[in-house]
Amino acid sequence: MSQDFSSRLNDIELKWQERWEKEELHHAEKDEDKEKYYVLDMFPYPSGKMHMGHGRAFSLGDAFARFKSMQGFNVMHPMGWDAFGMPAENAAIDRDTSPEKWTMECIDEMRDEFKRLGYTLDWDREVTTCKPDYYKWDQWIFLKMLEEDLAYQDDAEVNWCPSCETVLADEQVENGLCWRCDNEVENKDMNQWKLGMTEYADELLKDLDKLDEWPQKVRKMQNDWIGKSKGAQIEFDIVDGGELEVFTTRPDTVFGATFMAIAPEHSFAEKVARENEEVAEYIEEAKMRDAEEREEKSKSGVFTGRYAENPFTGEEIPIYVAEFILSDYGTGAIMAVPAHDQRDFEFAQEHGIEVRKVVEPEGDHSFQEQAYEGDGDHVNSEFLDGMEKDEAIEEIIERLELQNKGEADVNYKLRDWLISRQRYWGTPIPIVHCEDCGTVPVPEEELPVELPEDVEFTGQGNPIETSDTFVETECPECGGPAERETDTMDTFINSSWYFLRFCSPNLEEAPFDQDEANYWMNVDQYVGGIEHAVMHLLYARFFNKFLRDQGMIENDEPFERLLTQGMVNHPAYNCPNHGWIYPENVEEGDVCAECGSSLEVETIKMSKSKNNVVRPSELIEEHSADVARTFILRAAHPNKELDWSKDGVKASAEMLERIFRLVEENEELIVSEEPSLDDADLEDRIVSSRIQRTIEKVTEHTENHEFNLSIGETDRLMTELYRYRQSDPDKAIFSHGVRTLVKLIAPFAPHTADELWEQLDGEYFMLEESWPEVEEELLDRKAEATQEYFERISSDVRDIQEMIDDEPATIRVIQAADWKYDVFEKVSEVETQNIGEAMGEVLTDELKPKAETVKKYVMKAIENPGKFNNQKTELEDETEFLSLNKKRWKAEFDLEVVVETEKESENEKASRAEPGRPAIVLE
């Protein structure tokens, strides 16, 4: 793309953005006469600069919003900022500024970048979660949950840095050390606020079945996170006193339990640790690792020196502390059956524990090598011997209940949501602590409880606790001295209901207007990263169900369709002397411009730390917003990773420039006359049909989020129109093709579309125009078949040209003998997959001399029926195709073309001719 065109396109974009804003083109209003369509991109955290991940996600959402608008829907595409979070608090410490000031400056900068891309965002609905008029309603919802006993306090373990005197998020703990001071992090029990998500566990799980337009991968991730398990609770008496309660999905294997394993956090483990130094040291080390690391250490453990009794046999079973057991799943203790659980097996092998078979394998199996986890009849299990799994589980649960040693139970991996954060930049929890009245909610009329400004950011402790004006208050109930809760809420709270606030962002009396919410909800198309597949989406579903139960909304689920985009990758260059260097410091041959060293090159996710980030603003400045959008949408399927490519950017720019030339260099061919196939010749009919098929394909691809395929189809249509222009085109058909092309690119390159639409005398903004629909009267299926045949044979001719050395003068096309068409028809009707049976059905006495050829056709049909049926052509049709395309092949290849039948031909290759695939000889 020339720099002149780039500069021109940038000017065009600014012109149209000004017009769109002046006309409030993207402003959405409730309209009962139109079907609504709510498009929402996961709102961004304002980190200061828009990155390419934002560019990709919002380009995807915007393309779909434009598509739906042109289809006649009343589209709402709102925008906001997920503005609370640790980076702002860290900036306050590092840059001596306030989190609010830093955040609002970032928002101002990012807003300009988003606007420059020309998205259909309704800025009148902008929300910012760190503003009191938003987080007031976080607090209001919290109080409603408190009224329903869904919000409560409980002890919970946190990452505690004794040096910084603060709680750390998991991501702030690096190899057991504090990310800021590098001191060792401890586990500490603190009184924390939680929300009772588990009350909705069954519904959250069951309603995944309603989300059939979510990626299956995401639904599975949520299913696994909720983790419903059916089984039994079993009580094991501890020798010398006490009980150990376990949950197991296989209570029927209790006779095979040869050791018990408990989590390092289990109360019994802590009791043993007070008397056993080895256990205490093991527990301390285990607690330094996160859950993922601990689960990987499946063989790690320490014997407590204590035993439990099997409730059915009285056998004493050794108790181990094992860090792969997590305290927040089940009871934090398991009965281990190494013969029938691989993880238990590996632990048993490491610690020399017996492996006892209690389920008979159905085939050969070595218990010396691995556990058998399949089904089979029970053995070595007393009264369960001979039973299958389901019967044995039912029997063992019945006996447990009779002995008061257990019962049937359902367990979930899902835990209640711990929302307390000992940090400043978040929603204050609206609670007051009074010595006389206890924990007291702040009255609704006193909301919002605003963050104090007189705080100190030292990097130590919770900054809110430094504000006496905030902490010291009066009890709402007794009027006596009290202290405010200094914890703030998890920032996921803000994003758990923001989609509802967008429905009425300026409402002062409630979180949202119920009539507006019931009109716009649920979100028809949600777009965001796969990294939010579990936490954010699960929390949002939980909030939606709670607010529904409060009678505030009608829908069960917040998001109808979900599109999760892949990462954006870019080459990263690692110099042995200078580390990760910027692409502009790379010379040809992948060498460092500074020292000449060969570079290690890796295409990975864009990252500041790897110096391989490309900002949308940089791309816009060099090429334009429409080029950026087109490249982003064209380079890969939305679900796949996108590899950054200068060649891809260049190709997208060239595509848009060609579209401009197609319109501007053919003004004399553009007419307002409606197209018609009356009196149209073959070329006109082929092009008219191609236009309609492009509409059909682009519509289907766009509906399915296959924007890369949509753009590919528009590019092919443009190439066809350029080719058509070289002949003597029907002006009405050519004009129809150009107008269709401009409409089809509107979701991807909207500024280009509006500019060209104006040149084509379009009456409205493209967003107000109708999306093209297939017009049956402009389709000619015979012409399409003729073109398909032309392209097929042309491809064969080119393949032959590449294989021969001589320059041919003639293309000889030899049509198959008549009898072959009859055989093809008979073979296509055969249903058996057996070659012998098929031959018996097809091979008549008359065809027996040609049995070898008939068998060849039968084998083709059985091995690849789709390809066979695509090739099959009627005799009369192929005769007509050859007649119609003879002159076209001559023009295409600038060679003489001879068409003859296999019967007429004297060429030795004539017998190779098949229906739909004539023999071709270049002479």
Cβ neighbours of residue 417 closer than 8 Å, sequence gap 6 or more = 194, 195, 197, 490, 539, 542
**pLDDT of 150 higher than 80:** yes
Kindly state the average pLDDT of the residues 768-775: 97
User: pLDDT band at 116, cuts 50/70/90?
Assistant: very high
> 79 and 125 in contact (C-beta within 8 Å)?
yes
Q: What is the pLDDT of residues 119-129, one digit of tens each?
A: 999 999 999 99
In angstroms, the CA 778 to CA 1 distance is 35
pTM higher than the cut 0.85: yes
Q: Return the higher-pLDDT residue of 646 and 811.
A: 811
What one-character DSSP code corresponds to residue 494? Answer: G
Q: In the chain, pLDDT over 70 holds for what percent of residues?
A: 99
- pLDDT for the residue numbered 473: 96
Angle between helical axes of 682-703 and 52-70 (0-180°, round to 10):
120
Q: What is the pLDDT of residues 182-209, one digit of tens each?
A: 888 887 888 999 999 999 999 999 999 9
Kindly state the average pLDDT of the residues 59-83: 97
Angle between helical axes of 646-664 and 731-744 (0-180°, round to 10):
140
> 64 and 37 in contact (C-beta within 8 Å)?
no
Q: Return the higher-pLDDT residue of 320 and 87.
A: 320
Q: What is the pLDDT of residues 546-582, one digit of tens each?
A: 999 999 999 999 999 999 998 888 888 989 888 888 8
User: pLDDT band at 99, cuts 50/70/90?
Assistant: very high
Strand order in the sheet with 74-76: 74-76, 36-41, 523-529, 559-565
User: pLDDT band at 329, cuts 50/70/90?
Assistant: confident
> 291 and 278 in contact (C-beta within 8 Å)?
no
- Burial profile 461-479: b = 16 or more Cβ within 10 angstroms, e = fewer: ebbbbbbeebbebebeeee
Owner of token pair 């589980």: 393
In angstroms, the CA 107 to CA 80 distance is 9
User: pLDDT band at 297, cuts 50/70/90?
Assistant: low
What is residue 571's three-state secondary structure?
strand
**pLDDT of 601 higher than 70:** yes
- pLDDT for the residue numbered 2: 62
Report the run of H or E that residue 776 belongs to, with start and end: none
Which backbone phi and psi does 123 adopt, to 5 degrees? Answer: -70, -15
Alpha carbons within 13 angstroms on the beta-carbon side of residue 297 total 20
Kindly state the average pLDDT of the residues 720-733: 95
In angstroms, the CA 692 to CA 669 distance is 20
> 565 and 638 in contact (C-beta within 8 Å)?
yes
**pLDDT of 168 higher than 80:** no
What is residue 411's three-state secondary structure?
strand
User: pLDDT band at 169, cuts 50/70/90?
Assistant: low
* DSSP of 819-882: HHHHHHHHHHH-----HHHHHHHH--GGGGGGHHHHHHHHHHHHH-HHHHHHH---HHHHHHHH
- Strands 523-529 and 559-565, by their bridges, are parallel
Which backbone phi and psi does 441 adopt, to 5 degrees? Answer: -70, 145
Report the run of H or E that residue 919 belongs to, with start and end: strand 919-922
In angstroms, the CA 336 to CA 360 distance is 18
**pLDDT of 1 higher than 60:** no
- pLDDT for the residue numbered 293: 75
What is residue 346's three-state secondary structure?
helix
CA-wise closest residue to 214 among 567, 698, 557, 701: 557
**pLDDT of 64 higher than 80:** yes
- pLDDT for the residue numbered 170: 67
Kindly state the average pLDDT of the residues 37-50: 91
